[in-house]
Chain A
Amino acid sequence: MTVGIVVFPGSNCDRDVAWALEGCLGIPVRFLWHEERDLSGLEAVVLPGGFSYGDYLRCGAIARFAPVLEEVRSFAERGGPVLGICNGFQVLTEMGLLPGALTRNRDLHFLCQNSELEVQPGACRWLGTYGAGERISLPIAHGEGRYQVEPEELQRLEDQGCVVLRYVANPNGSRGDVAGLTDPMGRVLGLMPHPERACDPITGGLDGRRLLTSLLG
């Protein structure tokens, strides 16, 4: 029952995710360097936050070509759970595993604050333990978290139950208040908030624990 954590040059939340999973929750982890191709024995994969490859060109645009992500794509296609947090969410959209794009926050500021979220488990398999409309609080820390998508596509996502996390008070101008999104199969989840930063009582807030634990069903 090991979770893989992808490490790109410029990732900076990989160790936070490892601490949350292994240190706080007792779930073993294995770091996957961006050139790694061996995902054997992993139950789930996390793409952590940070600034992969300096976020040159666009956030996640260069990371998309990392060798490890070819394997992550196959892993997801086989039904393996993939969680993208913050920069990881941006990478998932650049890869096309999730639709839309994440752009500069509406007010141009980097936002670092707690954020109240409404959960709609919808299509996401591993959010099934949450009741519809349940509220949780997780930290956000991003400059480019404004979710962009065409209105018709957003409607399709809503209809398919893909919008699983919404901001109660939209901080960044995201279309449809989208904070987190799953694919129609419910095996890939991308979110801008940081569940790994809400797992240790020392740093306050424990709402991330259930979300990370449920990754493993």
Chain B
Amino acid sequence: MSVLHIVNKSPYDRNSLHTCLRLAQPDSAILLIEDGIYASIKNAAASESVQQALNSHQIYALQPDLEARGIDPERMIAGISLIDYDGFVKLTTDYDKSQSWL
């Protein structure tokens, strides 16, 4: 069963992303929304674990939330895919279940 993990908190605020990465199965994907976007920034304290997660998971970031925070896509870790709300809806249909890490 494939799962889409939705993370909406910064890894510098809560440990939800790290808990998610610890428990996510290899066929599952991770979607960063809201303040979860901060996990997509490269050369930061959380970058290494995100980089490592990219070896076994697809990682997506919600573009409108990235733009709202003034983060240039060039500052993102390579390999993270940007999607819009239409893409968000599509992802939830592509995976069997969605798990929000609130």
A and B associate in one complex: no
